[in-house]
Structure 1
Amino acid sequence: MASSRIRSGLPLLNRILRSDSLSTQRSAIQRSVLTPAFTASQPSKNLSTSTAQKEEKIKLPITLYGGTGNYASALFIAAKRSKVLDQVESEILDLIAASKKSPKFSQFLKDLSVRADTRVKAINEICATAKFSEITKNFLVIVAENGRLSYLESIVNKFKQLTMADKGIIKAIVTTIMPLPPQEEKELKETLQDIIGHGKSVEVEQKIDPSILGGIMIEFEQKLFDMSIRTRAKQMERFLREPVDFDAL
């Protein structure tokens, strides 16, 4: 398992962090990594491994926006072009899973004061220990060099959206105040499948949020169906606050 190899590489990370002092100019580093949003061309630099591969046109299954969307799109194109999409997806998901199990590794990813050379050295060590593909390693090094490791989980989540769309899978996020019974989840999934149509499949992710008070919220394909009691209550409140036009009665 790649995740176990990642965990075995964490002692290397500990040694690197201990041997390299943190920068004393923390605020300066923070300013430098939070400066203007990256363009789509920046994160794709050096991700591909051959000139022939660069000539192949890869179409994104969905359009993502923002800096994290640019990084995710660049990784998708490079992995798809090199025909290692499934492998790269598995590797970066393993990395995120490992970061959630290791507070020290998670802190390393979020700490903006770690010097760029320290970040890159640590990432190279981890990739070598986990035997990651060249595409994954190059991508993580670029993210580390650009001071974007703190955004890694967001980038990976958007990359996952791309891989799911590429496989014809539509993710529907269903929010309720308590888990849906299996039969209701099955019926909801069938309804969403009818809406989406043939050629694609639906994957339902349930989220629990007591603050919606009741009802249901469904989000998929950048659409939101809000049938929560919280939203209905707000709509009713706005209606009650509006002045009555007696002339229209």
Structure 2
Amino acid sequence: MAASSASHANETARRYASALFELAKDKGELATVDSDLKSLTAMAADSEDLRRLLESPAFAREDKAKALQALASAAKLSKLVSNFLATMATNGRSSDITGAASHFDQLYAKHRGVKRAVARTAEEMTAEQRQKLEAILAKAVGSDVELETEVVPALIGGIQLRVGSTLVDASVASKLERMNTAMKGA
């Protein structure tokens, strides 16, 4: 049941994101809306109070809508995003807002012909390493690449790279695990 509920929430977020994407495209505001939604997502990540407002059923829908519009105004988010937040809250879908923001971002990247990649390393990459990796990936996938990096000390060294659904794991931790498995089998 929980998986079905999560799947339904995911589909709801996707539908709202698609509707917002089409509206923003028609109005020529794709970049603004994408930027505003990223700002909102960052605010939610940094604020327990905002996450509680979005997730909790204890707040009335209308109160959530007013609070989100006030937040959008204070953060100088576009009118389109402000109305979007209020609509989702009024429709009882405030808990899907960050999911919708993520789906919108994916639609916008696809619209621009950009592929997304995530590089996980044990230490922070230098700007030069990042540029080289982006260039290699762009050549490999045949389009521009937006690279997100994550530092995961447990990798020990090397890199885990995900482009779309493809994962390349060249981390030291993974190599050690494969050696351990091979030795157990010997």
Q: Distance in 2 between matches of 1:69 and 1:155?
A: 6
Tell me how far 1:161 sits from its aligned partner. Answer: 2.2
Tell me how far 1:101 sits from its aligned partner. Answer: 5.4
Tell me how far 1:228 sits from its aligned partner. Answer: 1.5
- Give the residue type in structure 2 aligned to 1:37: H
2:177 alignment partner in structure 1: 234
Tell me how far 1:89 sits from its aligned partner. Answer: 1.9
TM-score where L is the length of structure 2: 0.78
Tell me how far 1:66 sits from its aligned partner. Answer: 4.1
**Aligned pairs (5 A) from 1:147-226:** 147-197=92-142, 200-226=143-169
SS at structure 1 position matched to 2:8? coil
**Structure 1 alignment gaps of length 5 or more:** 1-30, 39-64, 245-249
Deviations 1:75-94, CA, capped at 9 Å, x for gaps: 21222133321222233233
Tell me how far 1:207 sits from its aligned partner. Answer: 0.7
**Aligned pairs (5 A) from 1:28-67:** 37=8, 66-67=11-12
Q: Distance in 2 between matches of 1:184 and 1:102?
A: 32
SS at structure 2 position matched to 1:175? strand
Report the structure, 1 or 2, having the larger helix content: 2
Checking the alignment, whether the CA contact within 8 Å between 2:36 and 2:77 is kept in structure 1 is: no
**Structure 2 alignment gaps of length 5 or more:** none
- CA change 1:101–1:218 in 2 (3 A) is closer
Rg larger for: 1
Deviations 1:113-156, CA, capped at 9 Å, x for gaps: 212232123234445664732x4234212321343323423331
Tell me how far 1:219 sits from its aligned partner. Answer: 1.1
Checking the alignment, whether the CA contact within 8 Å between 2:12 and 2:96 is kept in structure 1 is: no
Q: Distance in 2 between matches of 1:67 and 1:85?
A: 20
Q: Distance in 1 between matches of 2:128 and 2:6?
A: 49
Number of equivalences: 182
Q: Distance in 1 between matches of 2:178 and 2:103?
A: 32
Q: Distance in 1 between matches of 2:174 and 2:145?
A: 25
- CA change 1:166–1:184 in 2 (3 A) is same
> Could you tell me which of 78, 84, 99 is aligned with 1:132?
78
Q: Distance in 2 between matches of 1:108 and 1:217?
A: 35
Q: Distance in 2 between matches of 1:147 and 1:176?
A: 39
- CA change 1:67–1:210 in 2 (3 A) is farther
TM-score where L is the length of structure 1: 0.61
Q: Which moved more, 1:121-130 or 1:83-92?
A: 121-130
Tell me how far 1:231 sits from its aligned partner. Answer: 2.2
- Give the residue type in structure 1 aligned to 2:14: G
User: Percent identical across equivalent pairs?
Assistant: 25
Deviations 1:221-246, CA, capped at 9 Å, x for gaps: 2321111222223333333333x6xx
Q: Distance in 2 between matches of 1:35 and 1:160?
A: 20
